[in-house]
Amino acid sequence: PSCSPTTLAPGQVSTCVAQHTVTQTDLDAVPAEVVNVATGSAQPPTPPGGSVPPRTSDPSDPVVVVATRITGIEILKSTTTVDFDAAGDVIDYSFELRNAGNITLDNVEVTDPAADAGSITCPTTSMAPSGIVTCSAQHTVTQADLDAGLVVNVASVTSTDTFGDPVNDDSNVVIVPAVQTPSITTIKALDAASITSYMGVGDVIDYVITVTNSGNVTLAAVAVGDPMADTAPVCAPTTLLPGESA
């Protein structure tokens, strides 16, 4: 602090000026305030022939300045995966986190119901104000995803401020479409025990009809129509996963 004047007669007042530049520690403090006490001191005159007296001093009353705390966190989810067409394909996700407040956030964690177990990675769990952190995750495509035709997902970020209060946010919706290619292949052949030629009315020709799901989505209500069959062919099972046959 600078004071003027620096020599005071009884009853005279000197005005001193000082500044404190706020630090991040001041904003993160609990309670969030700057409490300050100043101490004025001076040297009394030395009496003639006497010894030098000690300095006299007096502390001020505390001055409290309270912080205006702003808390906030944002999460933006994205992917470079355009589409998928097979179970086992991997969708890569990226999460950009931003501390939108003016205090430090701790225990930062991203959750994503579509992410493979253990695939979410973040470089830190603490974020300074205006800090940006990029996290990542993966989702392995399932047959259910292919049958649904898309993967729709929202992620969340949780954190706590220095008071232990929650600071959370949900991401935007990210949609990755499936490329569905439904297909069925039918093969008809004589049964191994069937006659290979006929010579009279009433002879029976036995057929085997194999239906295969040759696409990438589950097929339901599988049926075979044969206009020459005595009775409608029966298929089992009637629901086929890709590659399965009835």
CA 158 to chain CA centroid, Å, is 9
Q: Could you tell me the CA-to-CA distances from 13 to 6, 19, 45, 62 in Å, in that order?
A: 10, 20, 17, 20
What pLDDT score was predicted for residue 200?
83
What pLDDT score was predicted for residue 81?
96
Average pLDDT, the chain: 92
What pLDDT score was predicted for residue 228?
81
What pLDDT score was predicted for residue 198?
81
Cis peptide before 59 (omega within 30 of 0): no
Residue range 21-38, pLDDT digits in tens: 999 999 999 888 999 899
Dist CA 115 CA 109 (whole Å):
13
For the chain, which ranges sit under pLDDT 50? none
Dist CA 150 CA 172 (whole Å):
16
What pLDDT score was predicted for residue 207?
86
Dist CA 72 CA 130 (whole Å):
10
User: What's this model's pTM, rounded to 2 decimal places?
Assistant: 0.77
Q: Could you tell me the CA-to-CA distances from 21 to 5, 37, 118 in Å, in that order?
A: 25, 16, 43
What pLDDT score was predicted for residue 205?
87
What pLDDT score was predicted for residue 176?
97
What pLDDT score was predicted for residue 63?
92
